[in-house]
Amino acid sequence: MEELNKNILIPVTVASFIIGLFIYLGENKRSPEYVVDNIPKAQVSESLPSGCLDINDVANFVAQEKCVRGKIEKVFISKSGTIFLDFCQDYKTCPFTAVIFKSDSAKFENIKELNGKTIELTGLIKTYKGQPEIIINEPNQIKIID
C-alpha cells in the first residue's frame, strides 16, 4: 500500500506543478511592446493646460492614443534616413522620443527647424526597447507651440 501511495504521489505532484506553472505564465504574459508600469491612474498627472501629457508621464499611457507636449532638444537624422525627435540631450536616458521613418520623411519639409521648438505630438504611444515613443506618419500629428 505504501508503494502505491508513492507511485501516485509523484505524478500528482508533478502534474500540479505543471498546471500551476501554466496558470502563472498565462496570467503574467504581456507583450514586451506594451509593458506598462503598475502605477494607479490617480497618481498620474495630465497637468499641462493643453490636456497633453508631459514627456515624463508618457510611460503610463502605453498603447493609448494621446497628445504629448515637450521641447525638441535635437532633430537627428540617421544614416538610414530615420528621423528622431529627441526631447533630451541624451536620448538614451530620455523618457520619450518620436520617430519618423524614412518611408514618411519626404512629407516633412524643413524638419530640422523643430530644433528648440516646443511641440505637441498626437499618436499611439508604443515602446521600443523599453522606451516610450510615438511613430509619426503625417505632418498633422505635429503642432508647433513656440
Cell numbers representing residue 144 in the block: 508647433
The pLDDT value given to residue 84? 97
Q: DSSP state, 8?
A: H
The pLDDT value given to residue 17? 54
Number of Cβ within a 10 Å radius of residue 100: 25
Predicted confidence pLDDT, tens digits, the chain (146 residues)? 555 555 665 666 665 556 654 455 554 333 333 333 333 333 344 446 678 999 999 999 999 999 999 999 999 999 999 999 999 999 899 999 999 999 999 999 999 999 999 999 999 999 999 999 999 999 999 999 98
The pLDDT value given to residue 108? 94
User: What's the 3-state SS for 88-128?
Assistant: CCCHHHCCCEEEECHHHHCCCCCHHHHCCCEEEEEEEEEEE
The pLDDT value given to residue 18? 60
Helices (H) and strands (E) in the chain, counts: 2, 8
Residues paired with residue 135 on neighbouring β-strands, in sequence order: 99
Residues in the chain: 146
